[in-house]
Chain A
Amino acid sequence: MCLAAPGRIVQLLEEDPAGLRRAVVDFAGVRREVSLAFTPEARPGDYVLVHVGFALSVVDEAEAQKIFRYLEEMAEAEEPAPEDSP
């Protein structure tokens, strides 16, 4: 149970009645208001993972790229006769 979508913070908003930060987040062109209660460090331009209207984490761009770099390296290192795995 964990449908969370990554979106980009477009604009910070005024705090909500409880003093928690809110932001407008863009999901491929759809904009929704999101609570930053759990990601107070998030800034415009950051991507956050949003679940039921709350940002749960700021997406780590560097980590996000690692798998693709690893796959590139794997492709380059591939031997023509892969009988054994490394």
Chain B
Amino acid sequence: MKYVDEYRDPEAAARLADALRRAVRRPWVIMEICGGQTHSILKSGLEGLLPPEITLVHGPGCPVCVTPIELIDAAVAIARRSEVTLCSFGDMLRVPGSEASLLEAKARGADVRVVYSPLDAVKLARARPDRQVVFFAVGFETTAPANAVALRQAAAEGLENFSLLVAHVLVPPAIEAILGSPDCRVQGFLAPGHVCTVMGYQEYERLAARYRVPIVVTGFEPVDILEGLLMAVRQLEAGRAEVENQYRRSVRREGNRAAQAVVQEVFEPADRRWRGIGQIPLSGLRLREPYRRFDALERFAASATAREESSECIAGLVLQGLKKPPECPAFASRCTPESPLGAPMVSSEGACAAYFHYGRGEERGWAGST
């Protein structure tokens, strides 16, 4: 598959790993932001190729994991209404709410459907004027443009039976929250390549300068991540703190203006609680006034008040990269994918689930993991 296979080439990976080994002098802690990058790293066993001086920390780039529990509960409550068809990306279905996940609600009769695109939900609303079609709009800036176009389309066609349950989150405020934390030990970042395909990377220049951290916009395949790490390490060794672009085949500094424009037309920044982390100001999106009538929370008068989480779950510490999942006392014992205590154990990008599934030699109790 073109533009995929080449970036999984073993020789290219080996050469980059080699260059990393030669470049590194001191230990460095680097965080990759995007859940897709976490997934790729763990799936390819990439950490086994890295020199021991580099510690990779997995960031909160999993919108599934950080969607506040009260929004899951609202989604479940809305889905249970007999007139509602709730459409969602597959990722969200297994995430536990306070008492049920969407999948459990479906098992008990709620009309919940997996869609691949928000346009599928609009299509459904068009085909079924007798149903209230609610789309669970989760995701980072990568997905917001598609959701914005879908809503604009629904509005233009007068599909008043369509609505969005908005749970979008934004990356730069999250990075700032991590950098601002007194416990922060992250020295460099790999910024999410597809978020930046949409948004560009101008927003990160301020962060790099203010906090003196290199930020490298990075893709998702093993060769991308290795190159991104090499660029970050070279900056760190040289004492530089700039924004660089590894994912040049897709990302431009200004991003995709058409996509940004649509998002700005439909959404505006709003405060958002991140599950496990807490409130981060202006870190989410909500519908602008002209589109407010399509907001599902308002339409169904669903409450989204903050709820208690399992006290055992240390998702917040994991999401900020302060602890690794195997350091959690409940990991793989009381908290497993079959009976998760928190979101990172459920989402396929969640750090806890990734460690559980893909494992590493040490955690599985056998040696020779490299």
| Residues of A bordering B, CB below 8 Å | 1-6, 8, 16-18, 20, 27-28, 35, 37-40, 47, 49, 51-54, 56-57, 59-61, 63-64, 66-68, 71, 74-75, 82, 85
Q: Decide yes or no whether B108 CB sits under 8 A from chain A.
A: no
Q: Decide yes or no whether B96 CB sits under 8 A from chain A.
A: no
Q: Is the interface of B mostly helix, strand, loop or mixed?
A: helix
Q: Decide yes or no whether B1 CB sits under 8 A from chain A.
A: yes
Complex Cα distance A18/B349, Å?
34
The answer to whether A18 and B156 touch across the interface, beta carbons within 8 angstroms, is yes
- Using a CB-CB cutoff of 8 Å, which residues 6-41 of chain B contact chain A? 6, 12, 15-16, 19, 22-23, 34-36
The answer to whether B192 and A2 touch across the interface, beta carbons within 8 angstroms, is yes
The answer to whether B149 and A1 touch across the interface, beta carbons within 8 angstroms, is no
The answer to whether A57 and B250 touch across the interface, beta carbons within 8 angstroms, is yes
Partner of A64, one of B62, B119, B193, B249: B249
- Number of B residues near A (Cβ < 8 Å) is 56
The answer to whether A2 and B34 touch across the interface, beta carbons within 8 angstroms, is yes
The answer to whether B249 and A60 touch across the interface, beta carbons within 8 angstroms, is yes
With A2-B220, A4-B197, A66-B248 known, 19 other A-B pairs at CB within 8 A are A1-B35, A2-B195, A4-B194, A6-B4, A8-B2, A17-B153, A18-B149, A18-B152, A37-B258, A37-B262, A47-B2, A51-B143, A52-B117, A54-B149, A56-B142, A57-B256, A60-B249, A63-B249, A74-B19
**21 A-B contact pairs sorted by A residue (CB < 8 Å):** A1-B63, A1-B143, A2-B34, A2-B35, A2-B142, A6-B1, A6-B2, A18-B152, A18-B153, A20-B149, A27-B1, A35-B119, A37-B145, A52-B143, A53-B117, A53-B118, A56-B197, A60-B249, A67-B223, A68-B6, A85-B19
Partner of A1, one of B64, B116, B249, B250: B64
Complex Cα distance A17/B256, Å?
22
